[in-house]
Amino acid sequence: MRPAAVRLVRLGRVPYAELLGLQDRWLRRLQAEPGTEASSGTEAGALLLCEPAGPVYTAGLRGGLTPEETARLRALGAEVHVTGRGGLATFHGPGQLLCHPVLDLRRLGLRLRMHVAALEACAVRLCELQGLQDARARSPPYTGVWLDDRKICAIGVRCGRHITSHGLALNCSTDLTWFEHIVPCGLVGTGVTSLSKELQRHVTVNEVMPPFLVAFKEIYKCTLISEDSPD
C-alpha cells in the first residue's frame, strides 16, 4: 500500500496571523471532506511551515495570560493571540521553526497521542541530526523536547473530529530573552534553549528545514507533495 500524501506548504517568514488564516482554510477544507480510513495514496492534509516575522505570545486552551499580562506584553511590542491549542502561554518569533500539520489522523492510521509522540520524535530526530544526542521527549506536563532542564521545542495541538491543527515550535536562532517575560508553558523552574545556543553557532530555520522534512516523512510514513500556492 502506498503511503498517504501530505501537502507541503512553505510560507517563509510571515506574520503569525497569516499562518493562522491558512491553517483555518485547510481545517475547513478537511472538515468538508468525507472521513476516510487510511488507504493507498490517500491525501491526509497539509504540513504548514513558517518562521514568524515578529514577536508573538500565544495562550492556549488553559489560558496562561491575564489581561494585565497581555497589556504588558503588547507594550513590549509583541502581538498576543489566544489560540485553540492545548497548553498555556508560550512565545513565537524570528529564528523559530513553526510546524502546523493540519491532518486527518484517520488517513494516517494515527490517534491523537500517537500524533503528539510523532511530533516530539521529529524534533528529537532533528536535534540528533544536528549533533545534539541528548535531546529527549518528556511526559506531561513536560510535553515537548528537552536538553536536560532546557526546553528546545514546544508542542501544543488541537484535534477535533480526528483533524489536527497547531503543532510544534522549535528554537533555532530565537532571541530567548523574549521568554523571560512569561512562565513558558506554565513550567516554573525550567529554562529554554535553542539550536544556536547549544551548538555555539548561528543555526537558521532554512538550515534545519531539509533534515526536519526527512524526519517528518520517516516518522509519519508519508510522502510530501510541494504546494506552490498556499491557498
Q: Is residue 156 a known part of a binding site?
A: yes
Q: Is 4 annotated as a binding residue?
A: no
Q: Give the span between the Cα atoms of 200 and 211, in whole angstroms.
A: 19
One-letter amino acid for residue 34 of the chain? P
How crowded is residue 107: how many other Cβ atoms within 10 Å of its Cβ?
Answer: 24
Determine if residue 48 is labeled as part of a ligand binding site: no
- Which distant-in-sequence residues (6+ apart) come within 8 Å of 46 by Cβ? 6, 7, 8, 9, 26, 101, 102, 103, 227
89 labelled binding-site residue? yes
Instruction: Report whether 91 belongs to an annotated binding site.
Output: yes
Has 153 been annotated as catalytic? no
Options 99, 127, 153, 185, the catalytic residue = 185
103: cell is 491532518
Any idea what the Cα angle at residue 52 is, between residues 164 and 197, rounded to 5°? 105
Look up residue 198 and give its three cell numbers: 547549544
Helix (H) / strand (E) element for 56: namely strand 56-59
Nearest to 154 by CA among 120, 111, 106: 120
Question: Known binder of ligand: residue 167?
Answer: yes
Would the annotation count 63 as a binding residue?
Answer: no
Q: Is 160 labelled as part of a ligand binding site?
A: no
Q: Is 154 annotated as a binding residue?
A: yes
In this structure, the number of other CB atoms found within 10 A of the CB of residue 228 comes to 7
Q: Does 87 appear as a known binding residue?
A: yes
> What distance in Å separates the CA atoms of residue 42 and residue 223, rounded to the nearest whole number?
10
Catalytic residues: 185
Residue ranges for the known binding site for substrate are: 85-92, 154-156, 167-169
Residue ranges for the known binding site are: 85-92, 154-156, 167-169
